[in-house]
């Protein structure tokens, strides 16, 4: 009985290390192609970087006008990408969020735009420079700090990573 408990304790102690070996993040090989595809169907001011927030309210996850471009090609990024890939793993959900980063509760944009991350001294989401946003950089195989995300899960597709980039730009 004591041996079973020792083995279980050892396995539980190794679980975090083993989980790092499971994931094999890919790369975003052609960002511009996906950004062009996202922006192609839009009209007017739906460019990639807008220089900041539009006139929309802080309660929404996207601003008017630009939201149409990102959502038409990508859908609701929070619901379609953040919830299953970031919050569904138990990491960035509403309860016990890692690095105090909740990516699933309503109002995600208000918690990430212009906010510096707790584990890395970088802005989580910067609409004026979306490529420099920590949330986007953490999707690469070599982020500026910490481990690539999602941790211990398959990397997002190039299209989904481009959707995250477009979502950041539209904030």
In terms of Cβ atoms closer than 10 Å to its own Cβ (0-12, 13-18, 19+), residue 39 is middle
Percent of the chain with pLDDT over 70: 58
The reported pLDDT for the residue numbered 153 is 87
The reported pLDDT for the residue numbered 140 is 94
The reported pLDDT for the residue numbered 30 is 52
Looking at the DSSP bridge assignments, the partners of residue 123 are: 116
Domain ranges of the chain: 25-169
71 vs 60: CA distance, rounded Å: 13
pLDDT, tens only, 116-132: 999 888 999 999 999 99
Predicted confidence (pLDDT) at residue 9 exceeds the cutoff of 80: no
- For the chain, report the end-to-end CA distance as a whole number of angstroms: 56
pLDDT, tens only, 138-157: 999 999 999 999 998 899 99
């Amino acid at each position: 009985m004591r041996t079973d408990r020792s083995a279980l304790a050892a396995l539980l102690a190794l679980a975090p290390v083993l989980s790092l070996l499971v994931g094999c993040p890919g790369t975003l090989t052609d960002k511009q192609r996906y950004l062009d595809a996202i922006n192609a169907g839009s009209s007017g001011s739906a460019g990639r970087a807008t220089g900041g927030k539009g006139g929309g309210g802080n309660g929404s996850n996207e601003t008017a006008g630009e939201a149409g471009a990102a959502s038409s090609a990508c859908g609701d990024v929070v619901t379609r990408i953040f919830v299953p890939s970031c919050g569904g793993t138990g990491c960035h959900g509403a309860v016990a969020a890692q690095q105090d980063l909740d990516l699933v509760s309503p109002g995600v944009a208000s918690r990430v735009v212009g906010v510096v991350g707790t584990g890395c001294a970088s802005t989580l989401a910067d609409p004026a420079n979306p490529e420099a946003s920590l949330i986007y950089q953490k999707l690469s195989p070599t982020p500026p700090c910490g481990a690539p995300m999602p941790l211990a899960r398959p990397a997002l597709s190039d299209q989904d990573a481009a959707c995250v980039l477009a979502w950041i730009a539209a904030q």
